[in-house]
Structure 1
């Protein structure tokens, strides 16, 4: 097996990850004759519950602040505590005064799930926490509450990048977080394939995740590390926005060089088509929209016959690690030919960059990374496409898969983008835990999705703006290191970083 271990860092990350896990649970099949196309062992781990029964729980570690878990308990129906909850008075022989916080009432959705009854329809008003629409049981080791800070606290807000960095340092000195939290899950794997992180990048979680990834890279060497870096897309005051911008600059400087994939995600994006409807004030809604692209573009990593996913991320030189996340919803009655490249294989086919029919896509309905600015004039270095649910024409003229190494040589020779396309007949399912009104083109609770990860010169433009902000705001002691570091990253994404004149001089 090639397992993937997931880390969830913070409130926004857990909203997105909850949709992700609900989708993985929906792919399970319980009829032995119908095998799921998804290999569940990639993300789920077998175990033994408190009653000796076999369990199957997500291979994930969930970090969040005090008060952020809602009604989710560390010990659930699969892993109930067996010891007496009354620990006794110990050495204290005085009178006890017990103070308890007001318990959070369980939502109707969760109550019906536990009772095995049909779940009521969720709304933006009834979803108060990410656990309110969670459909899974987690292993007790997966739940890690950080009690040093409280959710939405005005006295000690968890906003400054350095605050998260310091918190990780303090916790790691006290517990060694890798030994306590990561190693038990990693040691269960036959062959750990990658570590996937959901995290905020424009608040203190950016600093927390940066130091965490430093430790992961030291411990796991060349293992793939995929980072989904979530940024707030709602309008805030100028002072708050400047703080977010500096936090994003620190995150991209510290995290992207250590990652195999670093994808900034604007949550929510401001530009969406008229066929997409969501409440921008509801994190349940906005994270659901993000999940339709993020879960779709990583689907090949879970299919039983995946090929070359990590290799396609590396492109032809392995230097472009910052990707843009984009997606489009394709109605069943639409002519797919205007979207589709010349794709004939049922799962995956590497596209030769010199073929006119297989050029990278530049127009998408939703751009989660740069919000649609400047996509037409950018230079694309590498693009990975995933088509799901679209029925491809597999008539005569089928072309065998091309060699990935040969495609890279052609890309170098022609100075053309590297492109790889995956196809999966599995459409994106609209679950009862998912907002049912987001996609107006959904039919029979499912939609066809085109999702893509793109490395392009737009990243250079984005980082250049970060350099400007950092040069004006960051303190003198950090400014030079940060600005110079961002400049080095930017240079590799500039269109002319390897110009024709370099070859003419030889």
Structure 2
């Protein structure tokens, strides 16, 4: 067994993580049959506050802003009671909590579960099936979250009542965006919210000590907010103190395109910090409605602006690609999967993200990025031809005919004929569809997920370099340009010098 620790930063990422752990619950068996999945990879055993009740908690750390947990209580009956944490003679004062959703109430009462939709799942706690250990839930208290008025978060007292959603003065509204904001808030979080101690030391270390054979880290993060820089600081600490050579897969939830120069700069600076620390970086970008409709007809009406819907779609890739790490038979380590995705090379950005479960493969990586808005564009950069695929590795879930599924969605022939590496592993364990999951495809549908690295990375990185060269005037300008050029050089293929330049 090689245990994997999950790190989830932001409400967007926590929606994905909730779908992930709800799916894991579907593998549990309650009779004499043995599950094909080794649950200890994702969960650890313990005892409740009474010293007798056995608990089984996710190996996970989740960060969110104040208000982001919705109705979820950090202290549950399984672990500790509020009275146990209140000093004798002290009066306990609590803010009113949001009411639990109808779905959660039905779960608690073991009643029939109501159907879910985007408007009923504004918080990830509205449909969460599992109990997280209190030490897994970390709150950044200087910022408020509201799924409608502040989906990225705003500073407390910065001009708008996000709880009530009241229209207020927004000219001084400080949003949880920007690279510098993320770095500063990480440092502040260590000093205030975590009592002056490092989260890596007080929380991650305890998770690590519960592992017999540590197998790596899955990190999900909203890259296009201050969470991206916050996560980069967390990962830097982990690399320095605990996992200098361990496998770290970073799943970056990216917006379709930046809104302005400040956001694009923050995106670039975050990627530059994350890329050298991640063993593999996987960008997850929402597809356009037409692409979703063509690839997954059953999901045609899904509103991907909803974190619940987008999280379910992205989880189909994350849960499928990491399934072999949890199998009792035919186990495949996270190290091996990442090495195959990267083609055993220094190309650590898996820009090609494919989900196949319907009429056509669905692209969820950088292929979804549209042109930058005019004010951000510095000329045009286009690949001279179809991007070259350096490597592609997938996981096929099918009861039979796994090779046919792979050939349909994995496009191995085109990859290999172009000189790239391609391969897959297969399993008969089908994709779990808990009642909390949005409808993507019919149950028991064969599913294929594949990650790969292509020459499109070079085009995107050079576009970032051009932006930095023209618009960035800080002391970091030349360093950013050099770092982007160095990484881009790994993705050159054939005669590419200048061939992807197309000036306006």
TM range (shorter): 0.7 to 0.9
**Which residue of the partner structure matches residue 68 of structure 1?**
68
CA positional deviation for 1:245: 2.1
Counterpart contact for 2:350–2:451, Cα < 8 Å = yes
Question: Structure 1 pair 108/225, CA: closer, same or farther in 2 (3 Å)?
Answer: same
Distance 1:199 1:119 in 2: 29
1:294 and 2:325 correspond: no
CA positional deviation for 1:469: 2.1
**Which residue of the partner structure matches residue 28 of structure 1?**
28
CA positional deviation for 1:416: 2.4
CA positional deviation for 1:122: 1.1
Q: State how 1:50-199 maps to structure 2 within 5 Å.
A: 50-51=49-50, 52-81=52-81, 83=83, 87=87, 101-151=95-145, 152=150, 153=154, 155-172=173-190, 174-199=196-221
Aligned length: 436
- Give CA deviations for 1:177-236 in whole Å, capped at 9, x if unaligned: 111110011011111110111111111011101111111111221111110111123x77
**Which residue of the partner structure matches residue 447 of structure 2?**
449
- Give CA deviations for 1:84-122 in whole Å, capped at 9, x if unaligned: 5664666xxxxx9x9764431111100010111121111
Match of 1:245 among 241, 245, 264: 264
CA positional deviation for 1:326: 2.6
Counterpart contact for 1:366–1:372, Cα < 8 Å = no
Match of 2:292 among 250, 265, 272: 272
Question: Structure 1 pair 181/156, CA: closer, same or farther in 2 (3 Å)?
Answer: farther
**Which residue of the partner structure matches residue 432 of structure 2?**
429
Distance 2:88 2:119 in 1: 41
TM-score by length of 2: 0.80
Question: Structure 1 pair 455/74, CA: closer, same or farther in 2 (3 Å)?
Answer: same
Distance 1:127 1:307 in 2: 34
Counterpart contact for 1:312–1:420, Cα < 8 Å = no
- Give CA deviations for 1:62-84 in whole Å, capped at 9, x if unaligned: 11110000011111131131735
- Give CA deviations for 1:369-414 in whole Å, capped at 9, x if unaligned: 321888971111111111112512799xxxxxxxxxxxxxxx9xx9
Distance 2:402 2:270 in 1: 43
Question: Structure 1 pair 300/190, CA: closer, same or farther in 2 (3 Å)?
Answer: same
Counterpart contact for 2:64–2:139, Cα < 8 Å = yes
- Residue aligned with 1:254, SS: helix
Counterpart contact for 1:389–1:448, Cα < 8 Å = yes
1:370 and 2:330 correspond: no
**Which residue of the partner structure matches residue 248 of structure 2?**
225
Question: Structure 1 pair 329/419, CA: closer, same or farther in 2 (3 Å)?
Answer: closer
CA positional deviation for 1:415: 8.3
**Which residue of the partner structure matches residue 206 of structure 1?**
228
**Which residue of the partner structure matches residue 386 of structure 1?**
395
Higher radius of gyration, 1 or 2:
1
Alpha-carbon RMSD across the aligned residues, in angstroms, is 2.7
CA positional deviation for 1:4: 0.4
Question: Structure 1 pair 372/148, CA: closer, same or farther in 2 (3 Å)?
Answer: closer
Q: State how 1:252-401 maps to structure 2 within 5 Å.
A: 252-267=271-286, 269=288, 271-274=291-294, 275=297, 276-277=299-300, 278-304=302-328, 305-307=330-332, 309-315=334-340, 316-330=343-357, 364-371=361-368, 377-392=386-401
Distance 1:268 1:20 in 2: 20
CA positional deviation for 1:367: 2.8
Distance 1:205 1:367 in 2: 21
Distance 1:308 1:431 in 2: 26
- Residue aligned with 1:257, SS: coil
Question: Structure 1 pair 309/3, CA: closer, same or farther in 2 (3 Å)?
Answer: closer
Counterpart contact for 2:239–2:245, Cα < 8 Å = yes
Counterpart contact for 1:15–1:130, Cα < 8 Å = yes
TM-score by length of 1: 0.80
- Residue aligned with 2:46, SS: strand
- Residue aligned with 1:183, SS: helix
Question: Structure 1 pair 388/200, CA: closer, same or farther in 2 (3 Å)?
Answer: same
- Give CA deviations for 1:324-358 in whole Å, capped at 9, x if unaligned: 35334445xx9xxxxxxxxxxxxxxxxxxxxxxxx
Gaps spanning 5+ residues in structure 2: where? Answer: 159-172, 371-381, 405-415, 498-504
Distance 1:86 1:394 in 2: 59
Counterpart contact for 2:63–2:139, Cα < 8 Å = yes
